[in-house]
Chain A
């Protein structure tokens, strides 16, 4: 069964460093998402992406964040200069298309900023 994959499973970085989190969505899906979950808190929406552009973003998704679909398979989240409060679990998700409301989630990347 197709699934969303994410790498790495755990990333440790120093404050101020750039990180790139990688996701491979399900191949015939058209909508892509990033969410994050700070330990003990809600899963929060960051950004949605469709047709090679951002379709919606939350107030969390500031200028330090960017997303890209550099080829036909990968979907990346970049944090330009990490802060301590960026430490969280980051989930990628994909959705098949219009009329399909289920999102398929990856296993997550745990980001630890020291």
Chain B
């Protein structure tokens, strides 16, 4: 079946540090991969996505590359800011599946300290 395994948190970094949040997946079809971010008191917002192998999604300095050979979609940012403090969710969806439901990881809480 489909599932997502995400790095456990919480993660605490100093401003300008390098961020990696690991995400691996299992899928039966041809999934699209996503990173969503949830800021305090807000809903899930799409951060970036990739729809096929070797695609790189990027947004706001964050990047993730869809690696089919390692079934991974790790999130990276070269220099984090205090405003990046949030919970990050890795997710997959399989357009071939009826209803196109999303499968989420557990979420990783990131705190960036000045």
Q: By DSSP majority rule, is chain A's interface helix, strand, loop, or mixed? A: strand
Partner of B105, one of A42, A50, A105: A42
Mark B59-96 against chain A: 1 for CB-CB distance below 8 A, else 0: 00000000000000000000000000000010101010
How many A residues have CB within 8 A of the partner chain?
A: 27
Q: Give the distance to chain B from A108, nearest Cβ to Cβ, in Å.
A: 6
Q: Give the distance to chain B from A103, nearest Cβ to Cβ, in Å.
A: 6
Nearest B-chain residue to A104, judged by Cβ: B46
Interface size on B, as a range, is 20 to 34
Query: With an 8 A cutoff between CB atoms, is A75 at the interface?
Result: no
Partner of B104, one of A42, A99, A106, A107: A42
What B residues does A55 contact at CB under 8 A?
Answer: 98-99
Distance, CA A107 to CA B43, complexed state (A):
3
B106 adjacent to A41 (CB under 8 Å)? yes
Chain A residues with CB under 8 Å of chain B are 4, 6, 31, 33, 35, 41-45, 48, 50, 55-56, 58, 91, 93, 95, 99, 101-108
Residue pairs across A and B with Cβ atoms less than 8 A apart, 13 shown, are A31-B99, A42-B105, A43-B102, A48-B100, A48-B101, A91-B43, A91-B44, A93-B44, A99-B95, A101-B32, A103-B93, A105-B44, A107-B42
Chain B residues with CB under 8 Å of chain A are 32, 34, 36, 41-46, 49, 51, 89, 91, 93, 95, 97-107
